[in-house]
Structure 1
Amino acid sequence: MTTSNKHPGAPWRNFYGRIKGKGLRPAQERYLDEDLEPLSPGPVGWDVNPERHPLDLKATFGDVPVWLEIGFGGGEHLVHQAKSNPGVGIIGCEPFINGVAMLLGKIRDAGVSNIRVWPGDARDLMDVLPESGIAKAFLLYPDPWPKKKHHRRRFVTDEHLEPLHRALAPGAEFRVATDIPDYVRQTLIEVPKAGFTWTAESPADWREPWRDWLSTRYEQKALREGRVPHYLTFRRD
């Protein structure tokens, strides 16, 4: 069973956040043992040294568009998109192994075959994604890191946005959902600086969810606690 967010060949990086939470159920342990390696975006024995083993998305998915979900939580949105879009391949990235186990169970239940799973740091994954290889990316309810001194840990910083821009194809869509007003503020400042255009033309464009949206458990918690979701759509220049 894989419980580390460190992949062979990856450079050393500070990592903030949990890798594992409460004990896994026996079924979840089995999902990790049986399903995680076959659902890797790279072949058996593959590591994340980009000079030796860049990801071959065409070999993994065939000649179809490839999407990326960064931090898929429990995986419900990821599986929803895979079922609704069988003609695309989707890579889900999540360092929290409990969430990975939950996703693997959902993949079994849904019977989808167009998902690959990266159980680790998104930065390591983006190191080996081919330039302009991703057609759409999702960042949904990322860790807000609410303390000001921790804002540099948020995804919407140069450390993450520059490699994401490189990995996305020109014109690719980048969706961000959050219920934290200050995260909205930072996103609207930093994402355009990284080479993206905010596509909103009216308030409805950030107040109303996307037409193909599936509300996640994180969003439901935010709504119960009286927080307001924001749905931000950017286009990679």
Structure 2
Amino acid sequence: MAEERRKRATEAFFGRRHGKRLRPRQDAALAALLDRALIKLDVASHDVAALFPSPVERIRLEIGFGGGEHLLSELARYPHTGFIGVEPFVNGMAKLASAVDEQGGAPANLRVYNDDATALLDWLPEASIAEVDLLYPDPWPKKKHWKRRFVNRANLDRFSRVLKPGGRFRFASDIDTYIDWTLLHCEAHPAFRWEAESADDWHTPYAGWPGTRYEAKAIREGRTPAYLTFLRV
């Protein structure tokens, strides 16, 4: 176990864990969300659907949900889908917590995880997830940091294990080098096929896309977002 923790510490796909100090109301909302919806990896994961108190038709995973704009939108659009949101940045999780608190508390179809996504991926049963979303991940733009990008062969192996056949991996970014990086890595992986059919496909936002603050910043600064979808074959 110690060796496994040491190994994971070297992966370091995310940066800082804390931002500004939370206000008391944010603290309370965060505590309530984690008390109700936090996934704990010290229990067996034979049936992920059992994490949700009501039956769900399928389960989706969003890694690094930031402020939760997309996750909140999808929760409302698909009430019969179970969603697992991963965000190690405390202030991002607190922002989601405050939003669901204003709506009366965490919806029944939401579960969260506040640590390294690779640990969760290794815990999940095989072929248990219908879709994995990785939207505007940290691009680690300096070449010396590219090894910290979440898209790599090991994590694509993890995705391919937990995704159902016919499931999808969706990736959005405004950083050209990371977009090219992801296309090359997915093209080289036998479990994934890019779904684009025309040159415009990858610049067309996903259906129901609400936009995010990161995306708005990118557009203001003149960067063009790309929306990639890969099929688990």
Question: Do 1:68 and 1:90's aligned partners in 2 also have CA atoms closer than 8 Å?
Answer: yes
Change in Cα spacing, 1:35 to 1:126, as seen in structure 2 (3 Å) is same
Matched, 1:11 2:5: yes
Shift of 1:224: 0.8
Question: Do 2:49 and 2:82's aligned partners in 1 also have CA atoms closer than 8 Å?
Answer: no
Query: Which runs of 5 or more residues in structure 2 are unaligned?
Result: none
Q: How does 1:1-237 map to 2 (within 5 A)?
A: 11-12=5-6, 13=8, 14=10, 15=12, 16-42=14-40, 47=42, 53-54=44-45, 56-61=47-52, 62-111=55-104, 112-194=107-189, 195-237=191-233
Change in Cα spacing, 1:63 to 1:9, as seen in structure 2 (3 Å) is farther
SS at match of 1:116: strand
Q: CA RMSD in A?
A: 1.8
Aligned amino acid, residue 53 of structure 1? A
Question: Do 1:55 and 1:128's aligned partners in 2 also have CA atoms closer than 8 Å?
Answer: no
- Structure with bigger helix share is 2
Question: Do 2:172 and 2:228's aligned partners in 1 also have CA atoms closer than 8 Å?
Answer: yes
**Identity percentage of aligned residues:** 47
Please give the TM-score of this superposition, normalised by the length of structure 2: 0.90
Query: Which runs of 5 or more residues in structure 1 are unaligned?
Result: 1-7
Count matched residues.
Answer: 223
Question: Do 2:59 and 2:84's aligned partners in 1 also have CA atoms closer than 8 Å?
Answer: yes
Q: Stretches of 4+ moved more than 6 A in 1?
A: none
Question: Do 2:64 and 2:135's aligned partners in 1 also have CA atoms closer than 8 Å?
Answer: yes
Please give the TM-score of this superposition, normalised by the length of structure 1: 0.89
